[in-house]
Amino acid sequence: MQGEASRIADRISRDSMASRLREAGEDAWRIGNELFTVTALLDNNRAVTVALTDPSRPVTDKIALLNTLVEAQAHPLTVGILGDLVGRTWSRSKDISNAVEDFGVDAMMYYADHTNTTLQVSVELAQLHSALIKMPAVRAKLYDAQASAEARVALLDAVLSNSGFCKVTMRLAEHATANLRGRRYLGTVQWLINKLSRHMGESMITVTTASPLTAEQIQKLTDSYSRKMGRPVHINSVVDASVIGGMRIQVGDEVTDTTVVAQLRHLKSAINASA
């Protein structure tokens, strides 16, 4: 949870730099990768992060430090985004790392826009999320902090070797395991799905069922929730055999759970309460 100063800094910086990033075209790919690299650098160097967010330190000193950290061949817009961020006031030093990562994801989304693959990326991330629910052992290894980042990425690449996913999906999926940032892998993938959904101007509805939804079911859910919410929605269909039957529907933080496993859980609680 960001403090007020960080929320303001993040919002103003986004408003300031978003249009330039949107217009970066092909270069957005490079910028996104550079920002992911800086995110990892900040996450692994607390002293540097503190120095870049110290409110008592002149901005010129922060820019000078930034210039020593960012390679000379970095894209000018990468440098511009980082310079804008270090000129802001942050509630906590680690919040600037979150902002850099957000900009990195934004750059990847704008690159997807440029290459007309935005919807494809959103669908592929949802497919990845659904597939990993059925692979708990693989999932656990993808956020195993005891393993090296290289080993985790190699495992992911092996799992996705025949997926045919586009390069933006692959890069986002790799970033999620290369730099764990204290998060579980599926949680990061869901965060990316939600960001893509907002980017496309849609609301994400996650529907979990024991077997895949049919095209007709997805369309009915899409129509129903679009009317209910007054805006377009995207159905993220997740298959999880452990729910046995029924549906679990999540809209933001609101969950409607009519799955068989949930009903059995409620029944068990009721029996225990009356015993």
Per-residue model confidence as pLDDT tens digits over 115-150: 999 989 988 998 898 889 889 999 999 999 999 999
Identify any residues that bridge with 251 across adjacent strands, giving them in sequence order.
205, 254
Q: What is the pLDDT of residue 68?
A: 87
Domain that holds residue 144: 116-200
Same structural domain, 104 and 79:
yes
Closest alpha carbon to 246 in 229, 231, 233, 263: 263
Instruction: Tell me how far apart the alpha carbons of residues 123 and 237 are, in angstroms, rounded to a whole number.
Output: 9
Give me the number of domains the chain comprises.
3
Domain boundary among 200, 230, 247: 200
Domain boundary among 65, 89, 114: 114
How many CB atoms sit inside 10 A of residue 154's CB?
A: 14
Average pLDDT for runs of 10 along the chain of length 275: 82 90 95 96 94 93 89 88 93 93 96 94 89 90 96 96 95 97 93 88 82 89 88 82 86 79 75 72
CB 36 within 8 A of CB 81: no
Q: What is the pLDDT of residue 252?
A: 67
Domain boundary among 95, 114, 133: 114
Q: What is the pLDDT of residue 255?
A: 81
Same structural domain, 43 and 73:
yes
Pairing of strands 233-239, 254-257: unpaired
pTM reported for the whole predicted model: 0.79
Q: Tokens representing 18?
A: 């978003």
